[in-house]
Amino acid sequence: MQKDLITMKRTPLYQEHIKLAANMIEFCGWEMPLNYASGIFQEHLATRKFGGLFDLSHMGRLLISGEDALPFLQYVLTNNVEALEPGQAQYTIISNESGGAVDDAYLYRINHQQYMLVVNAANTEKDWQWLQERKERFRAVVLEDRTAAIAMLALQGPRSKAVLETVLGGDGLRLPGPTRNTITTVEIFGTKVPIARTGYTGEPIGFELFPPAEIAVPLWNTLLEIGAREGVVAVGLGARDTLRLEANLPLYGHELGNDGEGKEIPLFSGRLAGNCISFARNKGYYIGREALANQFEEVKLRLQGLLDKPKADQLVPRMIMPVAVLGDGVARAGCEVYLNGALVGRVTSGTVVPFWRVEGKGVASKPGAQSGKRAICLAYLDADLKEGQELLISVRDRQLPAMVVSRHLGSEAAPYARPILVEDQDKAVASGARKTLEGLAHSLVRKTLDNARWRQRATINLIPSEQTPSPLVRLLSISDPAGRYAEHRIVKALGEVETYYYQGTRFIAEVEEELAEQMRDFLGCSQVETRPISGQMANTAVFSGLLEYLNRVDRTAEPRRFRSVMNHFIGMGGHLSSQPMGALRDYVAISPLTGRPAVVNFPWSLDNPWQIDLDRTAQLIAEHKPELIILGKSAVLHREPVSEIALMIAGMRPRPTLMYDTAHVFGLLGPYFQQPLEEGADIITASTHKTFFGTQRGIIASNMSKGTDAFELWEAIVRRIFPGSVSNHHLGTLLGLLMATYEMNAFKDEYQRQVIANAKAFALALKECGFRVEGDPGIDFTETHQVILRFDYAKGIEVAHRLEANNIVVNYQAIPGDETFTASSGVRMGVQEMTRFGMTEPDFQELAGYMADIVLAGRDCPETISRFRSRFTEMKYCLSEEQATPLIEALLAHF
Amino acid sequence: MDPRELRYAESHEWVFEKDGIATVGITDFAAARLGDIVFLELVSVGSKVKQFEKLGELESVKAVAVIFSPLSGEVVAVNEALKEEPDLVRKDPFGESWLVKLTADDVSELNNLMSFQEYQEFISRQEG
């Protein structure tokens, strides 16, 4: 052990580590805690289940500002700095000319003027020299080493957010996020402290804090004291290393820099290269660009199976891969790895890490009470090796069996990071005993009846995206045109009539025409397309049709995508189908500036995250000039500001297309809610089975009439439905939808009024009972069919399961502040289906009382709920049972 | 076991000899310095070892430590409980967590080892 105390540097928290009886070691010239009293394993485990607090003040913190900060950073770093908005952060590399790493780093854009680069303690001096020398060619760059003036703490793990919320006096929305790589400045102890959603542990929830050195000690102690109530402990460098290794994160000197044989590791050997090395046009020339581009070309050829260079001439012959040790023993950095007796690489990092065994299934799973240990490593291996390859690692005089795995840890399901064990990766499928066809049919029908009785007679259904269609609608949906085809399109040469491809379609042609007529009547519009069989298909067809229209000027050129789209952020209730991860994916361009899909989210108002901030929206529209603006949400409490946005874009040339996906609120469109086409939306899409009366289909509508410029766009959209999307447009449910639309048009007024009145009464009663109801109390929390409740962080899942066990069916919902659906704090409910079964305001007040009993008082009452439900089993807002019965009997007779 | 009655090697093993059977372990000082112990490998029963020759290996999260035999002899028992749970070595290094027992070929070899007092001085010099 080295004991050269005189020259060792100490962080502002040195005395705190001594008080905590830390095992202090020398690390890159700093005297740092390797571990505290409980040891590396306990610190690792505590971080994964509760949280860990780290002193990272030994890392280098460099501030970069000045007029030429951006071109300077673009020149010395590999990632695209221009893609960083103020308040964002990115992983990046300080690269050398040969395409290797001088260091890896995190770049934070604290505000418009200032960037902070956090570098490894081992390299701070080298990086400083490197950057100083390369700064000369830039006119106005201010580079400051603020390592001593600014401390750095990390708080990582599932409870880290709760701890910081408490420190901030309960205001969690002031924290950065919920997405990673965001940074905001908050006030703590009257001092401004930048806090980022970044970390080096693989925890899906984690923060790094950059307080002035003067408040490092009180901040550390406050976090530790409040954290202790949540199980958070201080964590030293030992567990920092095991956590990062488990998370498959590289460490300079191991996975970056030189390999064990003294050769430089090319950056494209690393898993993160694709995310942190940019070749964007606006990135321009930077140190190492040419070498990196050559590496990238070779990696692409390998992926396509086209690489035929001999190994010795390859630029990226090896890749860093996660490897699990299968035998008894520990592989360490430097150990050689063999396949069939041939050396295929070396371990770069390896040790034993502890893990929690997971309890429960699916979204309800979490770290259990039992822990285990496993030997894992990262290795620099022959790039042709594939996941699942078994290998031998040479450890002193023994050969340890090992396997290349995809990863050691799953971090995508917040709030917990879960271990991925080799035993989980290859599960045998159990084969059931074979049954006869009749036996199978009996069993299936019995289960179907059980489910139907439960959902139709014994439970209160509050899923806001569902509806039970009336018995007549359901029966019509499975009557004869079901199972048939009726492809058709308008052929201009044949006199602009719908031309059918098959015979036997007279009836369905009539139905389709009548449905269009009824829908035009419902919406008060001139155009509807009824063939999409889902709302998502309707959206896809609109995106595709709009692009076809935009590309019409030159049909011989490669068609382009939307240059910019504005939509709702999914974490704020945005529809999946308007996200790049959903239906938008193939239609939106990758921004040449950021390398990411060119999507801008509506900003939300700070005092009500469920509403759009219109002032900032106007700014963003002016700045990004979206070609398509998509309104509409799946967690929706308010009318959308259609007329306000229509006004903002009215003078723009070219004017963006304003689309409103009314999926959830389609059945509410009218005077009690809103009428988007009258308010200025160009086009609406919807699903017909949420607040509308079913069946499960999609629809597109507009006022792009014949004789207007827009008609050409409408025709393009219709073409993208047929022949673009459906050849069989589910004729049975089309027939059912016609009946449902008759019902809607007959009862629209009373139904819509009752749904909104019920939702408001339900919200108020829930509030009265002590629930935290989301939304604006000034409008009784909702203007739609939805009511959203907030529970403690990530507890929405538990509440939803508890209500289900008591025969109330709701869905858990990520609400503002949650990272993803697995961390849902909310529960989303809709009153539309139970309104159809005849529930009115007093009934919803009664239901609120039962829910308080179940959730707040912890009393189970499934039978009470079933009895309550038995009062509401006859469908309303349609033919009465007496009127419908003879029709139903007649239909069944011809089945 | 009373630490004051043991003999110590500079490589931090202790030995207790009685009736020609020597019990060997590592010291609390060494165990604490290693941290979480994750792997233990010992020679098998029946092996013959010479004084200060390798008896096995202990691995912690951060390091590998070789265990040397404080005496010459034949291994007659190894602590099986530690194979399952090597971290027990840290829990009770002078008691339950002994590593091996061996026949002591030559008890005069004990003179090559330190007394408790000498070992205390030895580690305080190391720490200083």
Mutate to test the interface with A, among B43, B61, B83, B89 (most CBs of A within 10 A): B61
- pLDDT tens digits along A546-561: 999 999 998 899 999 9
The answer to whether B128 faces chain A, any CB pair under 8 Å, is yes
- pLDDT tens digits along A577-591: 899 999 999 999 999
Same domain, A717 and A775: no
A528 domain residue, yes or no: yes
- pLDDT tens digits along A230-269: 999 999 999 999 999 999 999 999 999 998 888 999 999 9
CATH number at residue A847: 3.90.1150.10
Return d(Cα B34, Cα B88) in angstroms, integer: 13
- pLDDT tens digits along A812-846: 999 988 888 889 999 999 999 999 999 999 999 99
- pLDDT tens digits along B49-65: 999 999 998 888 777 88
| A726 phi, psi to nearest 5 deg | -120, 140
- Closest of A586, A557, A555, A584 to residue A569, by C-alpha: A584
Instruction: Out of A1, A23, A330, name the one closest to residue B38 (CB).
Output: A330
| pLDDT higher than threshold 70 for residue A44 | yes
Eight-class DSSP state of A857: S
Return d(Cα A61, Cα A119) in angstroms, integer: 7
Contacts of B61 in chain A (CB under 8 A): 40-41, 238, 242, 351-353
**Contact flag A41-B61 (C-beta cutoff 8 Å):** yes
Q: What is the pLDDT of residue B38?
A: 84
Domain count, chain A: 4
- Closest of A61, A60, A50 to residue A223, by C-alpha: A50
Q: Which residues pair with A319 in a beta bridge?
A: A381
Looking at A378, A399, A421, the residue that finishes a domain is A421
Q: What is the pLDDT of residue A816?
A: 85
Same domain, A711 and A810: no
Q: What is the pLDDT of residue B24?
A: 96
Return d(Cα A416, Cα A359) in angstroms, integer: 12
Nearest CA in chain A to B90: A39
Helix (H, G, I), strand (E, B) or coil at A352: strand
Same domain, A365 and A328: yes
- The distance of B18 to chain A (nearest Cα, Å) reads 33
CATH number at residue A383: 2.40.30.110
Nearest CA in chain B to A42: B36
Domain extent at residue A609: 488-729
Q: How many degrees, rounded to 5, is the angle at CA A495 between CA A489 and CA A499?
A: 25
Q: What is the pLDDT of residue A382?
A: 96
- Closest of A178, A191, A154 to residue A53, by C-alpha: A154
CB A380 within 8 A of CB A272: no
Same domain, A669 and A753: no
**Contact flag B38-A40 (C-beta cutoff 8 Å):** no
- The distance of A374 to chain B (nearest Cα, Å) reads 9
The answer to whether A668 faces chain B, any CB pair under 8 Å, is no
CB pairs under 8 A between A and B: 40
Q: What percent of chain A has pLDDT over 70?
A: 98
Confidence of residue A432 (pLDDT cuts 50, 70, 90): low
**Contact flag A40-B39 (C-beta cutoff 8 Å):** no
Return d(Cα A737, Cα A752) in angstroms, integer: 18
Same domain, A718 and A770: no
Residues 6+ away with beta carbon under 8 Å from A459: A807, A808, A809, A865, A866, A869
Alpha helices, H only, A681-789: 711-721, 731-768
Same domain, A689 and A599: yes
The answer to whether A787 faces chain B, any CB pair under 8 Å, is no
What's the topology of domain B3-107+117-123?
Answer: OB fold (Dihydrolipoamide Acetyltransferase, E2P) (2.40.50)
Same domain, A723 and A769: no
Sequence-ordered strand ranges (E) for A509-598: 527-529, 565-567
Helix (H, G, I), strand (E, B) or coil at B25: strand
Instruction: Out of A41, A332, A375, name the one closest to residue B36 (CB).
Output: A41
Scanning A13-52 for CB atoms below 8 A from B yields 23, 34-35, 39-41
Return d(Cα B113, Cα A41) in angstroms, integer: 34
| pLDDT higher than threshold 70 for residue A886 | yes
| pLDDT higher than threshold 50 for residue A213 | yes
Return d(Cα A218, Cα A224) in angstroms, integer: 10
| pLDDT higher than threshold 80 for residue A424 | no
Mutate to test the interface with A, among B36, B39, B124 (most CBs of A within 10 A): B36
Contacts of B33 in chain A (CB under 8 A): 1
Q: How far is CA A504 from the centre of its chain?
A: 47
- Closest of A595, A535, A875 to residue A725, by C-alpha: A535
Contacts of A329 in chain B (CB under 8 A): 39, 41
Q: What is the pLDDT of residue A612?
A: 95
Nearest CA in chain B to A327: B39
Same domain, A694 and A831: no
Q: What is the pLDDT of residue B62?
A: 75
- For tokens 């070396």, the residue is A346
Confidence of residue A433 (pLDDT cuts 50, 70, 90): low
A206-209 β-sheet, strand order: A183-188, A191-196, A206-209, A153-156, A52-55, A233-235
Same domain, A570 and A493: yes
Helix (H, G, I), strand (E, B) or coil at A279: coil
Looking at A211, A246, A281, the residue that finishes a domain is A246
Confidence of residue B128 (pLDDT cuts 50, 70, 90): low
| pLDDT higher than threshold 60 for residue A348 | yes
Residue A630, CA distances (Å) to A586, A643, A675, A828, B66 in order: 16, 14, 16, 22, 66
CB A250 within 8 A of CB A257: no
**H or E segment to which residue A447 belongs:** helix A437-453
Crossing angle between the packed helical segments A642-649 and A614-624, to the nearest 10 degrees: 30
| pLDDT higher than threshold 50 for residue A3 | no
- pLDDT tens digits along B61-81: 777 889 999 999 999 999 988
The domain segmentation of chain B, as residue ranges, is 3-107+117-123
The answer to whether A351 faces chain B, any CB pair under 8 Å, is yes
Question: Averaged over A360-370, what is the pLDDT?
Answer: 89
Q: What is this model's ipTM?
A: 0.73
**Contact flag B38-A375 (C-beta cutoff 8 Å):** yes
Same domain, A530 and A633: yes
Return d(Cα A484, Cα A636) in angstroms, integer: 37
